[in-house]
Amino acid sequence: MSASGTAATGQVEHMLRQVTPGRYDAYEALLRTLATPSSGQVWMLLWHGQAGSPDAQYGNMEVDGYGYAPCVTSAQELSASGWNRSYEVVDGLDVARTLYPDHFGLWLNPHAPGGGLGIPWLDLRRIATGLERQPAGPLRLSEPGIEIPQFYALLAQNAHRTPAVRALRRAWVQPTLGAPYLVIGLDVYDTSPPAVDSVRAMMQQSIGAVPDGLPVSTVAMSDEHDPVVMWMRAGARPFYDREAHVQAPAGGYGYPPTPGRY
């Protein structure tokens, strides 16, 4: 297995050497390498068992309260680390799919001078689900400051006519790389195909009220691993809430805006 990873090793280690504080472009290049099958292989250190055996268990380490599985990036680094237990060579994509659901990150070359480099589980999730589908972190998240009341009003009206929708939240997302954008959090009762189609139609009917040039994305509030969802659940009140609307005075959808909030 180690022989099959030799060609890929140079690329991973080359990208790793380019990463320095503030070089998020180099870090993204490293993630892209790890996400590419056969060119992003890593040597996972096994605490228990042998490579390929049912009882094989990755090592683990904790940094600042977060868990990581340690690995090395080549046979040479394995030798330098002094690791004397088993290991297995695995594509970074497969490791990411294994680790992120348990909120475990991946730590590259912890034995190296300076302590190596940790890849948080949120970035492993990006590798596992597609780097182009998720914004580059760390993210700056806030309440939207842009004034687009016509869009919010139309979206709330269309949501009220869409039985699958329970509530809507919003967030302003500034990725580390790329333009900021508005996110609408969709909290739904039903995820059947007809319900999903109705929610998609609701967004299509409303998006025309968005000013030209303003990017808008959506995210399912049921996604337990999405950082935008976690932020909205913790700190963003719904701007449309069907259950609150039932009890609210006529003329308003969901919670009234807090003065000065938007």
CA 40-43-45 angle, to 5 degrees, is 145
Check if the beta carbon of residue 221 is closer than 8 Å to that of residue 200: no
Residue 170 pLDDT > 50:
yes
Q: What CATH code is assigned to 3-133?
A: 3.40.1350.90
CA 72-76-80 angle, to 5 degrees, is 75
Q: Domains of the chain: which residue ranges?
A: 3-133, 140-247
Residues 39, 45, 51, 56, Cα dihedral to 10°: -130
Of 9-18, 52-61, 222-231, highest mean pLDDT: 222-231
Mean per-residue pLDDT for 146-154? Answer: 94
Residue 87 pLDDT > 70:
yes
Mean per-residue pLDDT for 187-209? Answer: 95
Q: Give the span between the Cα atoms of 71 and 24, in whole angstroms.
A: 21
Mean per-residue pLDDT for 6-26? Answer: 78
- CATH match for 140-247 among 1.20.1440, 3.30.300, 3.30.1370, 3.40.91: 3.30.300
Structure confidence at residue 255 as a pLDDT band (50, 70, 90): very low
pLDDT at 54: 83
Q: Where are the alpha helices (DSSP H) in the chain?
A: 6-18, 24-35, 75-81, 92-99, 121-129, 149-160, 193-206, 227-235, 242-247
pLDDT at 48: 85
Rounded mean pLDDT of the chain? 86
3-state secondary structure 6-61: HHHHHHHHHHHHHCCCCCHHHHHHHHHHHHCCCCCEEEEEEEECCCCCCCCEECCE
Q: Give the span between the Cα atoms of 120 and 215, in whole angstroms.
A: 27
Residue 253 pLDDT > 70:
no
pLDDT at 97: 95
Pull the structure tokens for residue 11: 């690329």
Check if the beta carbon of residue 229 is closer than 8 Å to that of residue 219: yes
Q: Tell me: the pLDDT tens digits for 51-68? A: 877 888 899 999 999 999
Beta bridge partners of 186: 168, 220
Of 83-92, 160-169, 171-180, highest mean pLDDT: 160-169
Mean per-residue pLDDT for 26-36? Answer: 93
| pTM as predicted | 0.73
Structure confidence at residue 10 as a pLDDT band (50, 70, 90): low
pLDDT at 252: 32
Q: How many CB atoms lie within 10 A of CB 68?
A: 24
